Amino acid sequence: MLPNNILSIAKKTIANEAKAIANLENFLDDTFTKAVEQIYNAKGRVIITGIGKSAIIAHKIVATLNSTGTPAIFMHAADAIHGDLGIILEDDVVICISKSGNTPEIKVLVPLIKNFKNPLIAITGNSASFLANQADYVLNTYVDKEACPNNLAPTTSTTAQLVMGDALAVCLLELKGFSSQDFAKYHPGGALGKQLYLRVSDITANNNKPQVSPDTPITEVIVEISEKMLGATAVIENNTIVGVITDGDLRRMIKENKDFSLLTAKDIMSTSPKLIDNNAMAIDARNLLEDYGVSQLIAQENGLYKGIIHLHNLIKEGIV
């Protein structure tokens, strides 16, 4: 197969699925609104079930709901009739996902769920199916055809299911007023979580704190910067930040002065250091470093010097 043919197939697949997703908008009506309100007002959890590829999509929707403030649990449709029905509690809402809505497992499971009197939401591509006829709310995910050339492998249909699940999750997120702070509570790990909770103070507290006075000899300034390993030092006078000296300042000094033995910190320091509040978010520090085109920021709190945050700190934390 020629590379151009491969690209053609890939583009055709994407176009097929994009068209199907765009068409989902035409299926949204008051039923979708009522389904969202049912979940929002429920005292219990959302139990999502399915079989085959629909079960995999159910897993993802469960994860999305949990991470955005709506407690959800996955229940495999086949396992449900062998004891897992015990997952369902009185106040729970059940979502059943099935393209055809007529698979044997679904036909066995749905009446059992109905016996529990729990609200049942169907996500199906067949609005005339057994599942759709039994459900309290039907969310239509019909697609004309699968991206698979044999129209067999679940491709476009599972994408439509996934997008419908995302629509539910985002609507619930908005109704709950779910904020970035709430999001951080559920995502404390990894770079994403750190962007939402890591502060400059969390980094400066573990860094060295290089500082010199305006009258500190250059030789001592060099030692301070080298030993503290942050590529810079603050210049402090009467507990006030009056300047900063960076590795770049030292290189320029050496280039411009054959003899710098008599120079002091005040002779080469920058009197306009780039500052950041010690309680600011680390992501804000990253943005300032990018805006200023520098590698370090001087952290302060109530006018007092608290330390230096370096680009390498943010790289290590996964913020950059």
- Enumerate the known binding-site residues for Zn(2+): 76
For residue 89 the two structure tokens come to: 């509690």
Chain position carrying tokens 């629909």? 54
Secondary structure of residue 140 in the 3-state scheme: strand
For residue 158 the two structure tokens come to: 């599972």
Distance CA(263)–CA(282), nearest Å, equals 35
Q: Is the dihedral of CA 12, 17, 22, 27 positive or negative?
A: positive
Distance CA(78)–CA(66), nearest Å, equals 23
Chain position carrying tokens 């199907």? 20
- Determine which helix (DSSP H) or strand (DSSP E) holds 66, and give its type and residue range: helix 53-67
Secondary structure of residue 265 in the 3-state scheme: helix
Distance CA(312)–CA(315), nearest Å, equals 5
CA nearest to 262, candidates 294, 202, 306, 217: 217
Beta bridge partners of 51: none
Report which residue type is found at 142.
Y
- Extract the annotated binding site: 76
